[in-house]
């Protein structure tokens, strides 16, 4: 325990439990280990699945053994405290509904009893830290103060946090002098700590494959694509398919540049994961609040591919499926935030018909706007198509040069 004298002076009851919640890969387990190290405590870890057994009473006995093991280890090591970490606690800590899962209930009851029995005067003192990404499933008796006193959200890192994480994982890797981890942090919005570690690891693999002495910026760019989209595939498409995919991706890219200038980092025609081509966007800054105008811009970027196909071919392909799913997800966010003509509504009260009507109205209106926006950029499509078909990738700066040239010719 840290600052024992001050804690005693103020009569503070030490924490019994800390619940860490957040998406996978954000470092909840690492935080628990760090807490044990900081408080000079023994660390004992278990997963919720270890307590689930077909035989009645086994889960409850394993809970007792876990706390007993923590106390014994602390005594042997001469420590004053122990940290017990239970990952995926929602497996055993789910809400009790009186149904068939009586074995789960017994395990949870035993955990509640053990947490009540963690007396502040006992030595060694035990702190329970648990992690879950489904807090809403946990039983209320587990969440109350006196059991889990602190609920800490471990969210995805912001740009500053991403840069710190990248710096930590880059310590044992040879980076070229011109490598900018700040640029990597900018390009990895929405990445978890585990994904950032994977980016540096994949970049090191690319550097090794190319017999380089150090990791270069283009290795990191390739690694970001790999983690985001998946491994490159060797699928061979016909020339017609390649041209359609190229025009589709250029539709996304042109709308993105018109709606949010400077946002396109790369346009690629190479198959990766399930995608036949992709546009990598470069977020200018992290955002956590979105206006209606911003979200409508995102929908237009998603619809740009299908709009481009209609411009050149008169119809769409199955390649727009993922784009439409993304667009409908944004519409759902707008409805739930009261940013549509429907006003402030309870989304759970909306019928499938009303959802279809709202979604259809918004997407049809924005699709027409997207087509009107792209209609004047046919020259840019054709010039960029020639580059993409021959080189497979086009840098964002080169793409912006073509757009600028088009703009100058129109104004001349």
| Catalytic annotation, residues | 249
Q: Show the tokens assigned to 319.
A: 């390649």
The C-alpha atoms of residue 66 and residue 77 are separated, in whole angstroms, by 17
Contacts with 333 (C-beta within 8 Å, 6 or more apart), sequence order: 290, 295
| Cis-peptide, bond into residue 124, ω within 30° of zero | yes
The C-alpha atoms of residue 30 and residue 366 are separated, in whole angstroms, by 44
Task: Return the number of other C-beta atoms located less than 10 Å from residue 285's C-beta.
Answer: 8
| Nearest CA-CA partner of 221 in 276, 275, 278 | 278
CA angle 324–328–331, rounded 5-degree value: 140
The C-alpha atoms of residue 344 and residue 92 are separated, in whole angstroms, by 37
Task: Please give the C-alpha separations between residue 232 and each of 134, 240, 276, in angstroms, as whole numbers.
Answer: 33, 20, 10
Task: Return the number of other C-beta atoms located less than 10 Å from residue 105's C-beta.
Answer: 18
The C-alpha atoms of residue 271 and residue 289 are separated, in whole angstroms, by 33
Q: Which helix (H) or strand (E) holds 266?
A: strand 264-268
Judge whether 153 and 21 are in contact, CB under 8 Å. yes
Task: Please give the C-alpha separations between residue 298 and each of 65, 97, 167, 246, in angstroms, as whole numbers.
Answer: 52, 42, 31, 20
The C-alpha atoms of residue 187 and residue 346 are separated, in whole angstroms, by 35
Tell me the backbone φ, ψ of residue 402, rounded to 5 degrees: -65, -40
Q: Which helix (H) or strand (E) holds 85?
A: strand 81-87
The C-alpha atoms of residue 304 and residue 247 are separated, in whole angstroms, by 10
Tabulate helix, strand, coil % of the chain (nearest 5). 55, 10, 30
The C-alpha atoms of residue 343 and residue 271 are separated, in whole angstroms, by 41
- Tell me if residue 44 falls in helix, strand or coil: strand
**What end-to-end distance do the CA atoms of the chain give, in Å?**
74
């Amino acid at each position: 325990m840290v600052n024992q004298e001050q804690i005693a002076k103020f009569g503070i009851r030490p924490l019994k439990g800390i619940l860490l919640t957040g998406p996978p890969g954000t470092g909840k387990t690492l935080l628990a280990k760090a807490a044990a190290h900081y408080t000079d405590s023994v660390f004992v870890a278990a997963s919720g699945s270890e307590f689930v057994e077909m035989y009645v009473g086994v889960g409850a006995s394993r809970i007792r053994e876990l706390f007993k093991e923590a106390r014994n280890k602390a005594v042997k090591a001469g420590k004053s405290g122990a940290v017990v970490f239970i990952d995926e606690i929602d497996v055993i800590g789910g809400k009790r509904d009186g149904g068939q899962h009586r074995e789960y209930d017994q395990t949870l009851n035993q955990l509640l009893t053990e947490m009540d029995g963690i007396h502040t005067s006992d030595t060694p003192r035990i702190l329970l830290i648990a992690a879950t990404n489904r807090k809403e499933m946990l039983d209320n008796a587990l969440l109350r103060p006196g059991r889990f006193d602190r609920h800490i959200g471990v969210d995805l890192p912001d740009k500053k946090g991403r840069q710190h994480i990248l710096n930590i994982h880059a310590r044992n890797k040879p980076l070229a002098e011109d490598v900018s981890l700040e640029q990597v942090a900018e390009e990895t919005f929405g990445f978890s700590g585990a994904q950032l570690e994977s980016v540096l690891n994949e970049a090191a693999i690319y550097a090794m494959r190319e017999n380089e002495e150090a990791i270069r910026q283009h290795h990191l760019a390739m690694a970001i694509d790999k983690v985001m989209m998946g491994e490159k595939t060797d699928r061979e498409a016909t020339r017609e398919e390649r041209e359609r995919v190229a025009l589709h991706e250029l539709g996304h890219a042109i709308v993105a540049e018109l709606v949010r200038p400077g946002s396109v980092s790369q346009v690629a025609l190479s198959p990766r994961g399930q995608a036949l081509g992709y546009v990598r966007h470069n977020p200018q800054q992290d955002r956590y609040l979105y206006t209606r105008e911003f979200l409508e811009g995102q929908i237009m970027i998603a619809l740009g591919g299908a709009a481009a196909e209609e411009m050149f071919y008169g119809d769409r392909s199955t390649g727009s499926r993922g784009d439409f799913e993304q667009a409908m997800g944004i519409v759902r966010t707008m409805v739930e935030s009261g940013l549509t003509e429907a006003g402030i509504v309870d989304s759970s009260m909306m019928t499938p018909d009303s959802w279809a009507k709202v979604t259809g109205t918004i997407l049809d209106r924005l699709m027409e706007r997207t087509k009107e926006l792209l209609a004047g950029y046919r020259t840019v499509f054709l010039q960029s198509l020639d580059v993409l078909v021959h080189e497979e990738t086009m840098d964002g700066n080169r793409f912006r040069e073509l757009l600028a040239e088009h703009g100058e010719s129109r104004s001349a």
